[in-house]
Amino acid sequence: EPALPVFSQAEVSKHGSLEAGVWVTFRGGVYDIGEFVAMHPGGTRSCWRREGPWSPSGRLCELEMDPEDQARQRAVEPSDPYSGDPQRHPVLRVNSAKPFNAEPPPSLLGDSYITPSAIFFKRNHLPVPRVDPASYRLRVEGLPRPLSLSLADLKGRFPKHTVTATLQCAGNRRSEMNAVKQVKGLNWGIAAIGNATWSGALLRDVLREGGWGPEAAAVAGGGARHVQFEGLDADASGTTYGASIPLNKALSEEGDVLLAYQMNGEDLPADHGYPLRVVVPGTVGARNVKWLGKVIVSREESASHWQQNDYKGFSPGTDWDTVDFKSAPAIQELPVQSAITQPADGAVLERDADGEVTVRGYAWSGGGREVVRVDVSLDGGKTWQVARLREGDGEGEEQGEAPPPPPPPGRAWAWKLWEVGAPLPPGEQQVEIVCKAVDNSYNMQPDSVAPIWNLRGVLSNAWHRVRVTVRE
Ligand code: MTE
Ligand code: MO
């Protein structure tokens, strides 16, 4: 094979526009994703399905990044705790650079049933820790037999379990709460959510290896109620990220809680917890601890700030002077959610021959509750149409193949993408498109934001509304 050319970082950074091409480095290669960024409707979709995020025509070549450049890059700000953070995909909308928090454009999110890892939202509270996979050990405590497991142990001693699950940040859609009244937190749009395939060992199997069983329950004083997780990411004082979930969720045969080492069929990316993270299907993002260092079975919830004094819901009447974080439970399962990913808010739609607009979006509910219906309105909520729910990735649908079987009851961990073709009202005008989802417990989204407003801007799940202009 011919030797691949080596590009300098300086050369790569010269390509940052659609005219010059948009070059990015990824896994030791340099890619031109200019076409991809342009987001031709339809074109990118099929391309993503077949090839992943990089357009085949946009692939420049596979090559090594100049090692000297990499070293130089790392040396830029040696005192900056974030200098070890990985490179990120340029289409991400950055909410905060340090720590890194970013979400993809909604249209891309709604384009693929499985969210490609590169554009999956990233929610970091701290610098990304660099973990050496060879010396890595997961410690498991609070059991008759404490464990210290290497990656090889986790991969070799426990059956590999794969789950497709949606992860959503408690602050998804916070910007809509901010529009009602200022809240504290990152100003997320509708894309702090994603759907991925996760693989790893079942937490349940690992706890059993540590001796969990009826006898162990007695040993633990009969009082163990929670499983705490500690991350390896730390602030300057050494405080690590932490959270906990109820023990019964971890132990349940139907809980599907994973110690995941893979995302979408590859090693976890650095931003998503390499080498190991917890995936708690149906449960708020905050409990899905990344860069997992320790698991502790305990009588108590995690004492971490993020379990005790954050990620809780309050009344719209509660303000920072009156809030008592002890008075509210930590968020675990999330409420029913849906949002419109296409058309974009503020879009101008030219009326085409059939005078229809295609509305697309996602819908999901926490706790394994399945979304059974999505209603869409083109007149601000006066009249409604039922959207078509796409099961799985919808791959076989065009060929008329049967849809995949529905998930077992109580284990609908993955979102559904939906779409509906709706007739546009006549004449030039402003149209308010609205969506709302219903889950199999008949939970529905509230119609407006004000009654669910809360000072941290969490649990924002009102009907989603986008305003578009229709032109002849
Ligand atoms: N785990 C660690 N160790 N550190 C973190 O900052 N953020 C949490 C959770 N796990 C976090 C973490 C939050 S609030 C969310 S929403 C999810 O990770 C985001 O996961 P993602 O970045 O893989 O999308
Ligand atoms: Mo989050």
Question: What string of DSSP letters covers 196-254?
Answer: EEEEEEEHHHHHHHTT-SHHHHHHTTT---EEEEEEEEE-TT-PEEEEEEEHHHHH-TT
**Residue ranges with CB less than 5 Å from ion ligand 2:** 123, 169, 285-286
pLDDT digits (tens, 9 = 90+) for 209-259: 999 977 676 655 568 999 999 999 999 999 999 999 999 999 999 999 999
**Which ligand is nearest to the Cα of residue 305, counting in written order?**
1
In the predicted model, is pLDDT for residue 202 greater than 70? Answer: yes
**What local confidence, expressed as pLDDT, does residue 426 receive?**
86
Cα(201) to ligand 2 centroid in Å equals 23
Name every residue whose Cβ is closer than 8 Å to that of residue 451 and which is 6 or more positions away in sequence.
Answer: 316
Q: Which of 268, 294, 326 marks a domain boundary?
A: 326
Task: Locate the ligand 1 atom nearest the alpha carbon of residue 169 and give its number.
Answer: 16
Among 124, 188, 460, residue to substitute to test ligand 1 (most atoms within 8 Å of Cβ): 124
396 & 278 share domain? no
Report which of 83, 125, 146, 466 is spatially closest to residue 311, judged by C-alpha positions.
125
- Distance between Cα 220 and ligand 2 center (Å): 31
Tokens of 316: 């719209």
Task: Tell me the CATH number at 15.
Answer: 3.10.120.10
Take residue 58 and report the two structure tokens written for it. Answer: 């946009």
170 alpha carbon, closest ligand: 2
State residue 325's pLDDT score: 98
Same domain, 167 and 313: yes
- Residues 302, 351 within the same domain: no
ipTM tops the 0.90 cut: yes
Name the CA dihedral angle for 54, 57, 60, 61, rounded to a multiple of 10 degrees: 80
The pLDDT of residue 61 is 30
**In a domain? residue 90:** no
Residue owning the nearest CA to atom 21 of ligand 1: 122
Instruction: Please name which of 350, 319, 351, 312 lies closest in space to residue 334, comparing C-alpha atoms.
Output: 312
pLDDT of residue 36: 53
Q: Which pLDDT does position 403 carry in this prediction?
A: 76
Residue 97 located in a structural domain: no
- Cα–Cα distance between 15 and 80 in angstroms, integer? 26
Q: Looking at ligand 1, which residue's alpha carbon is closest to its atom 9?
A: 286
User: How much of the chain, in percent, has pLDDT values that exceed 70?
Assistant: 81
What local confidence, expressed as pLDDT, does residue 363 receive?
A: 98
Q: Are residues 298 and 377 in the same domain?
A: no
Q: Identify whether residues 216 and 248 lie together within a single domain.
A: yes
Does 100 map to a domain?
no
Instruction: Find the domain containing 57 and state its range.
Output: 1-76
Query: How large is the average pLDDT for residues 443-464?
Result: 98
Output the pLDDT for position 322.
Answer: 95
Of 290, 291, 292, 415, the residue with max ligand 1 atoms within 8 A of its CB, to mutate for a pocket test, comes to 290
Q: What is the pLDDT of residue 439?
A: 98
Are 168 and 289 in the same domain? yes
Is there a single domain that holds both residue 161 and residue 234? yes
Domain annotation covers residue 434: yes
Among the three residues 276, 295, 326, which one is the final residue of a domain in this structure?
326
- Comparing 110 with 57, the larger pLDDT belongs to 110
Same domain, 302 and 381: no
**Inside any domain, residue 84:** no
Query: Which of 85, 94, 123 is the best mutation target for the ligand 1 pocket, counting ligand atoms within 8 Å of the beta carbon and taking the most?
Result: 123
132 lies in some domain: no
pLDDT of 59 above 60: no
Q: What is the DSSP letter of 56?
A: G
Q: Which of 287, 303, 326 is the last residue of a domain?
A: 326
Residue-level pLDDT at 329: 98
**Predicted confidence (pLDDT) at residue 42 exceeds the cutoff of 70:** no
Rounded Cα gap, residues 287 and 47, in angstroms:
33
CATH (domain of 415): 2.60.40.650
Higher pLDDT, 327 or 406: 327
By alpha-carbon position, which residue is closest to atom 19 of ligand 1?
123
Q: Do 258 and 269 meet the contact criterion of CB atoms below 8 Å apart?
A: no
Q: Please give the tally of structural domains in the chain.
A: 3
Q: What is the CATH number of the domain that holds 211?
A: 3.90.420.10
Q: Which two tokens stand for residue 68?
A: 């000297």
Domain assignment of residue 365, yes or no: yes
Atom 23, ligand 1: which residue's CA is nearest? 272
> In the chain, how long is the greatest CA-to-CA distance?
73
Distance 123 CA to ligand 1 centre (A): 5
Spacing, Cα 459 to ligand 2 middle (Å): 11
Say which amino acid occupies 341.
T
Residues 164 and 199 in one domain: yes
Residue 373 or residue 75, greater confidence: 373
Q: Quick one: 410 and 437 in the same domain?
A: yes
227 in any annotated domain: yes
The ligand 1 atom nearest the CA atom of 240 = 3
Residue nearest to atom 10 of ligand 1 (CA): 289
The minimum-distance atom of ligand 1 relative to the CA of 120 is 24
Phi, psi (rounded to 5 degrees) for 246: -65, 140
Residues 322 and 362 occupy one common structural domain: no
Query: According to the model, what pLDDT value does residue 16 have?
Result: 61
Q: Could you give the CA distance from residue 193 to residue 190 in angstroms, rounded to a whole number?
A: 8
Residue 25: is its pLDDT beyond 90?
no
Q: Which residues line ligand 1 (CB under 6 A)?
A: 120-126, 167, 169, 231, 233, 241, 271-272, 285-286, 288-291
Q: In terms of domains, do 294 and 382 share one?
A: no
Ligand in closest contact with the CA of 102: 1
- C-alpha pair distances (Å), 168 with each of 113, 335, 443, 445: 15, 11, 18, 16
Provide the pLDDT for residue 396.
Answer: 65
pLDDT, tens digit, for every residue of 62-90?
Answer: 333 455 655 665 666 668 999 999 989 88
Q: Which of 125, 198, 277 to mutate to test the pocket of ligand 1 (most atoms within 8 A of CB)?
A: 125
